[in-house]
Structures are given as structure tokens and as C-alpha cells.
Structure 1
């Protein structure tokens, strides 16, 4: 099997892996592709196995990344995903190796990935990356780890911006920050908003639609960051059921 890179020339016709199983995901795909179109102009790379499956890596120069991090000269992995029948066949290793080779060829200092203390949905697997030589560069509340793989020993150590370190905001109630970096936000943010409304609650939604806003966000993971009464709660993109479980966990039984 061969790998294929999504480019400005083939973006309109190529599938983007992470939303292909969603039969009602046309709008989600469109929002992600619109986001990608602008990022491809800024150096984003989307490399995938040439199959209709979730086997891909997406990365971008840190200066253009939609994360509140300082990692000048590094490449940032947005997502590395191998699922289903393609697991355990070495495709993740190959995608990462290609990312490393490409980043070195472009003169980068190393690679950065946002992860967590233990494996969490939508974040890079810390066990896998540490096995591949990644080290902890910085941390942020409540569980985020910024991992990096330097190409030279003297490379600067990346860090998370102070505005995203503490996982707190001043606004009360439910507050959600999100971007279109993941196609699933286009589908599930409206679901979340409607679910909250059905419970008689209110939620303030902040759609992050610029790199500058993302780099100034109050949480390291800008794709989806939910706060409740001033504290970060989760980065997991919530369905109606998963929100119900979370709300009960927050001592508010439905």
C-alpha cells in the first residue's frame, strides 16, 4: 500500500480519513477542508495511507500552529491516527518516520505533539510517543503534556504559553472553545449546544477562527476545550450521551 499527500490540487477530491465513516458528515468534511485549504498555504502536511480508512498524520510549522505554544523552528503534529484493521501493521511508525524525515529536510529543530499524562481521546498517545524518543517539554493543568523530539541536543525546549497553563477562565457556567481543525466539531458543537439547552442550561460558545485567537486560548488544546465555573473540564468532543455522563460526574445528576 502507498501513502498519499493531500494538497491544494487534490483537496476537493480526496477524503480526509477522520470523517469518512460518518454518512451525514458532508458539512463536517466541508468545514475541515475549508480550514485545511488555508493551512496548506502555510505549510500544513496531511499524509495518509491511500485507502478509505483512518490512517494519517497531519502536521504544521509551530509558528502557524493553532496551539498556545512557543516552539519556534519546530514542526507540530496536529493528529496521528491509525484505526481499525490497519492497527498493528507499522503504519503509525511509517507516518511518523516520514514526518521526521520531512521536518529534517525542511531544517526544523524537531517535532512537538500535545499529549496527556495518560491516553486521552483526541490527543497523541503519550506511551507511543515516549517509546519513540519524545520527551516532556512542558505541562499544563489538569493533564496536558507537551512532548518534543529534538533533532539536536542543544535545541530550544518548547513550552506552553502562560495563558494556557492553569486551565482557568474568569467566566462562570459552561464555556466552550473550539475550532474546525477537527471535522467532528462542526457536527457535535451544535449537538452539545442543543443538549445543554434541553437541560435548561446555558453555554457560551467561542468559535476560534484565527491562528492568533488559537495561540491566545486559555487551554493548550484549542480544537475543543470545555470549561465549567472557571475550570477546564475536558478536551473530549462530547455527544449527548457523553455530556450526560460528564454532567453527572460534575455532581449535577439529570
Structure 2
């Protein structure tokens, strides 16, 4: 049986799994589906076509599934999906998808969305993504598995963040970040690899050394970037993690690839 506080409002049509708890003054809309063991805190708001997986926690004053901040949106039946055991902390906001994307904002399993973070429409977060306090994601951002985004960071719409990357706090990210990369700054720039994350996730010395060599070849070598990509492909392209980085680079992008060192916007930002 679900445990629903008498002051909560659960609309007719909402589907609640076994062991769901809904706190004081929370609101659950008619098209919301809550998996087994979901916990909804006081004053939280769940609306729209929103599906929360087993064991998800939504803490007080968070909102999930409200309309996107997109002037083109006219009430179309878009949705939000949150994977099992994810945690959405106080005052965080996750907006449903828009017709300009695939119509869904999706979080994977075991994500942690800290206080006052915002996940914009049509974003896709894979498994175990952590957004620290006050992170802001524009629409259509795609973040791979095991990425950590530091507090106060803003990520431009349509940016891709490869898996196992780490973004330093207070960064402004406007270009794609390679898998396993580490970046920071305003505007953000690559500063190396996420070595701590690689070691914590059990990547061996061979894989880490190959990624280091690939990083140096791609971002610190001589010649044109296309020539450096070709050389790294020839010398290291058969190594699995390097191949993943190369595939990420070759994939289509709307924002361009983040490079090492100063970005084009740094001088303008400093002058301002």
C-alpha cells in the first residue's frame, strides 16, 4: 500500500507502485507513474507524462515533468523518464521534452541531481551521472555514464559530454567534451584526463597509458587536428577506450569539439 500524507494531492489516474510514500503538500499529476518504493518529499511537484523508476527519491520542493522552457512548446504530450534509484534533491527541476527534440527528457539509473540543479528539455543523462548544486543544463544536452559536473556549472544546449568525464565547478561549457576528459574554466577548456575517475572505475594501467598517449597526440601534438586524428587512429585506434574517443570525435556535433588550452571566448570573457 502507498503511504500518502493527507495534505498531498494525487490526481485520479496516477499509478503508484508498491511501497510508494508521498509527503505533505506534494502534488502528483494524473499521468504520473511511480515505480515501487518511490519516495516523494514534502511540497514536491510531479506532473505531465512522468515515469519514475523503482526506488527514486524526490526531495522537498523539487519539480519533475513540468513544461519545457521553450516558446515553441504548445502543450504536446512529451514526457520525462527517470531511471531506478536516482535521487533528485531539494529545489531541483527537470522539464519534460519538446517537439524540437525526441519528446523525452531521460535520466538513467542511480543519477544524483543535487539541490537547485536544472535539467532542461530533451536532455539525456546516462547512468550514474552526478550534477552538483546549481548546475544548469540547457536543452538537448547529452551526458554519458559516470560523469561528474561540478557546482555552478552551465552547459550550453546541444553539448555532448562523453562518459567518465569530469567538469570542474563554475565552468561554462559550450563545446563537446571527449569521453574520459577533464575540463574547467569560463569558457571551459580541456585540462587533461579524468585520471582519478578512471582509477576508481577500475581501468587498468594499459588503458590509462593508451588514453594519455592519445590525448597528447590529439590535443598537444603538431600539425592540423585532422592529421593528428589520423595519426592517433593509426597508432592507437585498436585500443578500446581510444577507439571510443575517436568515435566521439567523428560523430556529428552541433557545438564543436572542446580543445586543450584557451578557448576562443576566453579573451572576450576576461575583457568583459
State if a TM-score over 0.5 links the two structures. Answer: no
Question: Which range, TM-score by smaller chain?
Answer: under 0.3
Structure showing greater radius of gyration is 2
Higher normalized helix content (fraction of residues):
1
Report the TM-score when normalising by structure 2: 0.26
> Larger relative CO (CA 8 A, sep 6+): 1 or 2?
1
